[in-house]
Structure 1
Amino acid sequence: MRAFKIIGVLLLGACTPVATTAPDTGAGQAALTAPAMSTAMDLEAASRGRAIALLGCASCHAIDPAGDSPRAIAPPFREIVQRRGSDDLARAFEQGLVTTHPAMPPYVFRANEIHDLTAYLDTLRAAGGGTSKP
């Protein structure tokens, strides 16, 4: 019975938002809250996702908010994210990205790579000013 009480207290404590303060650099930095830390983590994920896209996709696709794809037949990522939502793309990545175009090789991504890549694609969607699709 005591073990259940301890677990309950730990679970309740885990749900309580905690504000942390960044080291003071003399510039009057604001306190970081859980949502701010989540945003920083999302930015890190997007940065890793861009690196994945740069290594695996940029030889054919334009992966940035501007510019032409090196292969004319390969749509720029900024156009793909306007047509397909994050959840749809994540499902495609989970199943092994296969297209009907014979020149595109099949890709299989790990869960963390899917998260990072979709985080990066979400930044392109936001930069394009289009509607965010789930």
Structure 2
Amino acid sequence: MTHRLKTGLAFGSAMLCLSAGAGPVMAQPVDEIEAGRDLVEVNCGACHSVGQADASPHEAAPPFRTLSERFPMDALEEAFSDGRIYSGHPDMPEFIATPEQIDAIIAYIASLQG
């Protein structure tokens, strides 16, 4: 076995050990998307389409699957960075979310984009 291969294997093993200790962090993408889906279903689903094909109950509320057509995803991240989710639309309530909830909501919305 070459020195380069041994070094690569050692590094890979170390990363595996570190990631094993991080448990939930490594499982984050799927769990984060599911958490985001749950959050938007409860907090946004009364007005917005939050799925792949459903219609928005409120005709003026854009479906979440088309948000990237209106806003770049990084603009959503910046807009939500203070933990407040609000819009200029009078019907949309403001709610405050934790940074983890914001990350989950953005992960879910990003997962819907074509």
TM range (shorter): 0.7 to 0.9
Q: State the 1:90 CA deviation.
A: 1.8
Give the paired residue count.
Answer: 97
Shift of 1:17: 2.0
Within 2, Cα distance between the matches of 1:101 and 1:66? Answer: 23
SS at 1:53 equivalent: helix
Trace 1:41-120 onto structure 2 (pairs within 5 A): 41-95=28-82, 96-120=84-108
CA RMSD of aligned residues (A): 2.5
Where do 5+ consecutive residues of structure 2 fail to align? 1-10
User: Which of the residues 81, 105, 110 maps onto 1:122?
Assistant: 110
Q: Structure 1: how far apart are the matches of 2:38 and 2:45?
A: 10
Greater fraction helix: 2
The aligned amino acid for 2:95 is: Y
> Structure 1: which 5+ residue stretches go unaligned?
1-12, 20-31, 129-134
TM-score norm. by structure 2 comes to 0.73
**Shift >4 Å, 4+ stretches:** none
User: d(CA) in 2 for partners of 1:78 and 1:90?
Assistant: 16
Q: Which has the higher contact order (CA 8 A, sep 6+)?
A: 2
Q: After superposition, what is the alpha-carbon deviation per residue over 1:57-112, rounded to whole angstroms, capped at 9, x for unaligned?
A: 00000001111100101110011133223321122122322212111111221101
Identity of paired residues, percent? 29
Q: For 1:117 and 1:85, locate their aligned partners in 2 and report how far apart those are by CA, in whole Å.
A: 15
Q: Is the 8 A contact 1:53 1:117 kept in 2?
A: yes
